[in-house]
Amino acid sequence: MSTSVRALFQLEGKVALITGGSRGLGLQIAEALGEMGCKIAITARKQSELDAAHQHLQAQGVDVLAVSGNLSQFDGIAGLVDQVLARFGTIDILVNNAGTTWGAPAESYPDDAWHKVMDLNINAVFYLSREIGRRVMIPRGSGKIINVASAAGMRGTAKGVTTIAYNTSKGAAVNFTRALACEWGPHNINVNAICPGYFSSRMADVQIQRMGQGLLDRIPLGRVGNEDDLKGIAVFLASEASRHITGQAILVDGGASVGA
């Protein structure tokens, strides 16, 4: 007998850990999964933003745990997982969303900037996924990992854009998704990536404003992403509705990647 569609999207009682969950795309995903009944753990570096997000999610009726910390300090990753497990007992869904960028020409790109971007955007993703995989998901034989990569990981840059570390790290996140999906598929763990195009956020707004109408002209839907546009894909990839999808990098970019 087939499973009902409602049941396939059911997330009630699941536990999701979302990195960079205090604002922007991470908070949007936390709102979505929380509304669908997930217990939510969010982590971020800035305590004031984390506190505000915690209060915001609680006001929406979400059972939420906020854990402050810098994922670039890799020795704190096991402790983060400890805190989530102590509160909720398990982790069903991992959303690797935390990220950063730095703009500078490749020929003069600072070493410390390169390492900062790589450490958060790809190294921390590996270390946290490994920790949760070996401690929780592999022993249990199930799990969902969602990596927030970027459309920038699927191409080069526009003229005048100097974000080589960001693009490189997001390209790495896309192939990390593919490789991990192959390794952990036998453990019934789905690993997929969301690749947003331009979304209004603190990190992207300066570039969006600089590119102006020229950017919108290259997007078939004629706008950048908003505060709701990742919610549907996040719920889909976190639920059993996507149980036969793994290793995919799904562009959410208003059609910019297929336009002329």
List, for residues 213-260, the tens digit of each pLDDT value: 767 778 888 888 899 999 999 999 999 999 999 999 999 999 988 876
Residue 109 bears catalytic tag = no
- Which pLDDT score is estimated for 220? 85
Task: Identify whether 37 is part of a domain.
Answer: yes
Is the four-CA dihedral 205, 233, 82, 184 of positive or negative sign? negative
Looking up residue 50, the CATH number of its domain turns out to be 3.40.50.720
Q: What is the pTM of this model?
A: 0.95
Nearest to 188 by CA among 234, 137, 148: 137
Task: Identify whether 258 is part of a domain.
Answer: no
User: What does the angle CA 209 – CA 162 – CA 104 come to, to the nearest 5 degrees?
Assistant: 110
Task: Identify whether 81 is part of a domain.
Answer: yes
- Which pLDDT score is estimated for 204? 65
**Residue 139, domain extent:** 5-252
Task: Write down how long the chain is.
Answer: 260
Task: Identify whether 259 is part of a domain.
Answer: no
Between CA 28 and CA 233 the distance in angstroms is 11
Active-site residue identified among 109, 127, 166, 198 = 166
Task: Identify whether 260 is part of a domain.
Answer: no
Domain count for the chain = 1
Average pLDDT for 183-207: 87
Q: Which residue has the tokens 């854990």?
A: 67
pLDDT digits (tens, 9 = 90+) for 84-106: 999 999 999 999 999 999 999 99
Task: Identify whether 30 is part of a domain.
Answer: yes
pLDDT digits (tens, 9 = 90+) for 111-165: 999 999 999 999 999 999 999 999 999 999 999 999 999 999 999 888 888 999 9
